[in-house]
Structure 1
Amino acid sequence: MVPRRYPRGITRREFLYLSGAAVLAAACGPATSVTTTTAGSTSSSAGGAAGSGPEIKFREPTQSVSGDLRILLWSHFVPAHDDWFDPFAKEWGEQVGVNVTIDHINQADLPAAIAADLQSNEPQYDMYQYIAVLSQHEPSVVDMKDLVTEAESRYGQLLDLCRRSSYNPNTGKYYAYCPAWVPDPGCYRRSLWETAGKAEGPTTWDDLIEYGGKIYQDQNIQLGIGMSQEIDSNMAMRALMWSFGASIQDANEQVVINSDETIAALEYMKRLYDTAMTPEVFSWNAASNNQGLNAGQLSYILNSISAYRTAQDEGLEVADDIYFSAALA
């Protein structure tokens, strides 16, 4: 979040604090071009099987605010989120007297866009929303401690994972506000796994090789864990490393990735690829596993429920066949 002066002598941070930070708090939740929403240009809300969004509770600002608020965020994997959020932000702006503009950009392109905006002499945006931690931008953004304190006074203590994802203990600065986190369970096609003899889905990493391989061999449907330079592939690799006892660093912040446990995790992934996957996983983006599952081309993915929600919202038959599994042993 970029420091900027607003009318009547308040900063952008004070502006958000006084207004209850409604836009930022609600932002918890691909196209390569930027799409823009300004006040008055959208009026629809999310609908369909995925729901119509959370209940809105408006709170009057403690002080009069005005001016412009420009937000840059990623195009959500569930389009219904953007259909809900954009008019929500617009309506909030109309109620408090602020002109809100929202730009959506491909999730994969957002880190570079944020970096370029922050490095410019006149940043275009006041607020950024991203799906993962961007702590490298701490020197360029304002301290969100006051917002975190206010949110905790209203809603309770921040979850530890959220705090660790937005707070630097060395500087004592909240470089972001993280109101929620999202787990990535296993999402599997029950009909495929039932035919293979494992109707309740995989419970171990070995199940992916045994039953995922059987599904690929007998039903010609591959398993979908990405191995490319995108966020879901990184998440899957970390989960696999931790399961094998490996990690990137230890409790003392020493790099320990070069270990026998890491080699064992890599050797496992090689076996899984040879048994149940195809080369396309090397060029995936963060939406590829969602799209593949909903197209009926994948038997299992590691993801949040966004693929399922999109299948529901679009009325796809595959939605009734998508089930979830816990972390693999």
Structure 2
Amino acid sequence: MNEFPWNAASATGVGSHPGDDYAEAQRVVFGELPDMPYLAELPGRGVGADMIGRSASLLVELPVEVQPSGWRFVDRPGRDARRARDHLTRDLDTLEEIAQGYTGPFKIQVCGPWTLAGAIELHYGDKTLADPGAVRDLTDSLAEGLALHVADVRARVPGAKVLVQLDEPGLPGVLQGTVPTASGFGRLAAVEPPTAAERLRAVLPPDIFTLVHCCAPAVPFKVLRASGVNGISLDAALLRRRDEDRIGEAIEAGTALFLGVVPGTGTRPADKGVVAKPAIELWRRLGFDPAGLADQIVLTPSCGLAGASPDYARAALARCREAAVVLRDTPEDAG
């Protein structure tokens, strides 16, 4: 029996879409991914619709604004913070209209604390990541704001079983000590894995399915598992053979794998059998029961679709959905 909050052979998206027509993007999501739709993001609309600004708008009592160097904490909310919040509020209003009557899993995405800490500057100009106390404050604020966001989504879509995805493309750099200082002339000290896991864990809402998306190489599987997330989302094309032992351990422990199998940009996705192949072959190499393949692996694009054309974005989601059915219908190929 499937123990995950979705039906077998499900697919979903990572989050971002091209263009500035939010209603159309959200309709595409519900149309192409009826088993696991998500809250679409349109960063192309500009300041406040980007990943950092959108998530920073959730922070409680930590206002931000845009400086020439990027987002920075300030004393009081200004135009940029209001713009980010307005984008999100309008998006949720649109979601409420489009999702009427929907019941089932619904995914929302928020930038994770470590990527935020590596991007947002403190009042005096250094990055939040440089100050452990500031990281703690950011984490606590994000946890509070995320809980309010989840409650808002649930109120607007009462039939939704909300899943939370933390986007952490910057986490590998945080752990490796490669994040540049605000000046760009140095590198910030590496964060110890136990500390990284602890701060991630502090953000995760209780009693809700959570996953971390990391589309960078060297996904830190140990840190993610130690944080207590229920799923790991990654780009199949970036997997190394030496990662497979870590993936196998995670799957054996019950962690779901959201596997990116369709490029985020292109002209036409590959056929569904080609798209499904990386998941089938990975499962076979790891030696797991083929019957669990379509339950524990969810297919997605490799990353966000903001750089794609609208037609390709729609086709990419459709191909993920079609390929997920291949995982269910041909389990013998994985044995």
Q: TM-score, structure 2 length as denominator?
A: 0.28
Q: TM-score, structure 1 length as denominator?
A: 0.28
Larger Rg: 1
